[in-house]
């Protein structure tokens, strides 16, 4: 069966490979690429500040750009830092970069600010099986959960809730097998506490493979 919808502007057919992406597009009332592109035409970028221009100029000072660069045109094996000669590929450098990135993202304030910054972005990836399990749990115990396939995931303090019953103030999360690792459990517990503090809600956790 072909997954498609009509653009709300030009009414051209928009094809989708995945059905859940199609459902997300219908909920968001998204346009085709051509119509979305036309809306961006004429939108001018704000003028750059003098401070920004000065910083760019300083960052390029002393660098050889374009044809003035001694390595201009040297691609692949002709480049002196090709392959193992690239400093970034040395084990000690790779470890230093990895440790720096990991340390940065372990900062709770940084993680929270990143999540809040992503609010409003389209995130079509979700687990349809999780939605089925959440519906099954709701029918069994008398809840009406809103999730990705019936209204979209509710977002709270930077987190997307797998399921939420607003009337009874109950959150439900479906945890796949990768949630069983010690690191992920620690992240899940932090997420759980932040959501409970914000909503003062009941929090239900389902595990993949568990029997309802």
Q: Any idea where the domains of the chain sit in the sequence?
A: 3-40, 69-106, 128-207
pLDDT reading at 20 higher than 90? no
pLDDT reading at 123 higher than 60? no
Taking only the tens place, the pLDDT of each residue in 163-195 is 999 999 999 999 988 888 888 899 999 999 999
Beta carbons of 12 and 6 less than 8 angstroms apart = yes
10 Å CB burial of residue 171 (0-12, 13-18, 19+) is buried
For residue 1, what pLDDT band results from cuts at 50, 70 and 90? low
Q: What global pTM score does this model have?
A: 0.45
Q: Which two tokens stand for residue 138?
A: 């709701």
pLDDT reading at 196 higher than 90? yes
**128-207 has CATH 3.40.960 classification:** yes
What is the pLDDT, as a whole number, of residue 122? 47
Taking only the tens place, the pLDDT of each residue in 39-70 is 766 666 678 889 988 888 888 777 766 777 77
User: Which one, of 172, 169, 178, lies nearest residue 160 by Cα?
Assistant: 172
Determine the distance from the C-alpha atom of residue 92 to the mean position of all C-alpha atoms in its chain, rounded to a whole number.
Answer: 30
């Amino acid at each position: 069966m072909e997954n498609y919808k009509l653009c709300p502007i030009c009414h051209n057919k928009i094809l989708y490979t995945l059905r859940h992406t199609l459902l997300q597009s219908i909920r968001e009332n998204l346009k085709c690429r051509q119509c979305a592109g036309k809306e961006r035409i004429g939108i001018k970028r704000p003028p750059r500040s003098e401070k920004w221009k000065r910083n760019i100029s300083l960052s390029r000072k002393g660098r050889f750009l374009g044809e003035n660069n001694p390595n201009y045109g040297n691609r692949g094996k002709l480049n002196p830092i090709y392959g193992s000669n690239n400093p970034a590929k040395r084990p000690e450098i790779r470890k230093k970069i990895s440790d720096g990135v990991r340390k940065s993202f372990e900062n709770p304030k940084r993680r929270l600010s990143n999540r809040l910054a992503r609010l409003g972005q389209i995130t079509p990836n979700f687990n349809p099986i999780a939605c089925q399990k959440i519906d099954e749990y709701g029918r069994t115990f008398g809840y009406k959960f809103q999730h990705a396939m019936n209204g979209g995931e509710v977002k709270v303090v930077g987190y997307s809730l797998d399921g939420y019953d607003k009337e009874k103030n109950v959150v439900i999360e479906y945890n796949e097998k990768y949630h069983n690792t010690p690191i992920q459990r620690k992240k899940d517990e932090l997420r759980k506490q932040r959501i409970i503090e914000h909503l003062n809600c009941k929090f239900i956790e389902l595990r993949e493979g568990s029997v309802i």
